[in-house]
Amino acid sequence: MAVIADLAIQGIQMLLVLCLAPALTGFVRKVKARLLRRRGPSILQPYRDLWRLMRKEVVLAENASWLFRAIPYLIFSATWVAAALVPTFATGLLFSWSADLIAVTALLGSTRFFLALAGMDVGTSFGGIGSSREVMIATLAEPAMIMIVFTLALLAGSTQLSSLAGFMLTSPVGLRVSLGLALIALVMVAVAENGRIPIDNPATHLELTMVHEAMLLEYSGRHLALIELAASLKLLLYVSLIGCVFLPWGLSPPGADVSTRLVGVGAYGLKLAAGGFLLAFFETTVAKMRVFRVPEFLGAALMLGLLGTLLLFVSRSL
């Protein structure tokens, strides 16, 4: 009976991230529109867009290979698994042993690799440009993410997300310079990985600056719907990751009763709303930077992560 209950809670976690991901995207768009004194689309608009795309016929390029058709399913599956591994409302779930920060990073790296392949598969110039820019961003974002993982692992003694959240909750962590540097670096990596302003603008198709959208121009129908849903899942994953590691308050412990679980779900909803609002506010206050300045932005994230790691080698109290 206990195993069935654990499976049910794990299933709820997987469905929760899948159902909330489009809502988070819609919430960010709505807040941005309101901050710009526009009415903006409904929060439910991403659900309508996904439903519309799912009902449309798939149109494939003549020279598209089988890989081009398979990649949307691979990207969606890997991103959903990665998002479901991050603790949202509870720790110590059935599959928490596999919820490792390195595993999540590897899954996200795999999706980027597949997306870059898809951009080059049909041989269009826009797809090639988008893939090359995506790989350029990855060469700096992934080392920065590894430095953040090192910082957290040195501090908590583990890269498992449930252990990290438990360490932040139960141990006298306090305010540490290394944690502050890791948080800023993680936010910068999250902005870059999700193709948000100032790195990329998901709402434009300007060929001189677009990165993520350039690789999707040949996709349509359910293939495009899966990739768009995976992009929403990725945004939710990073907000959940920041909330789990740096703001773990409200997470229900293993074996908690139903009321504690519901409190965890409410706290998770508040974290998503706060993260979405801060992202929308940030995007309305900064401008899109030139592609050639992206390495400077991610280089700063890499240096912050490295500095956090080095500080812990000097003194564990920093």
pLDDT at 240 over 90: yes
Looking at residue 96, its pLDDT comes to: 73
Please compute the mean of the pLDDT values over residues 134-149 and round it to a whole number. 91
Q: What would the mean pLDDT of 20-32 be, rounded to a whole number?
A: 95
Which pLDDT does position 169 carry in this prediction? 79
The whole-angstrom separation of Cα 67 and Cα 106 is: 20
Range of the domain at 98: 1-317
pTM here? 0.93
Q: What is the pLDDT of residue 5?
A: 75
Quickly state the pLDDT bin for 211 (edges 50, 70, 90).
confident
Average pLDDT estimate for 102-126:
90
pLDDT of the residue at 251 = 85
Domain total of the chain: 1
How sure is the predictor about 205, in pLDDT bands with cuts at 50, 70 and 90?
Answer: low
pLDDT of residue 61: 84
131: pLDDT strictly greater than 70:
yes
pLDDT tier at 130, thresholds 50, 70, 90: confident
Over residues 164-204, the pLDDT tens digits come to 888 887 767 777 888 899 999 999 999 999 988 888 876 66
pLDDT of residue 92: 75
Over residues 243-256, mean pLDDT: 84
DSSP 130-194: HHHHHHHHHHHHHHHHHHHHHHHHHHHS--BHHHHHHHHHHS-----HHHHHHHHHHHHHHHHHT
Is residue 51 classed exposed, middle or buried when 0-12, 13-18 and 19+ CB atoms within 10 A define those classes? exposed
Write the DSSP string, 234-272: HHHHHHHHHHHHH--TTPBPTT--HHHHHHHHHHHHHHH
CA distance 45 to 260: 32
Selected residue with higher pLDDT from 161 and 44: 44
Backbone angles phi and psi of 201, in degrees to 5: -125, 105
pLDDT of residue 206: 61
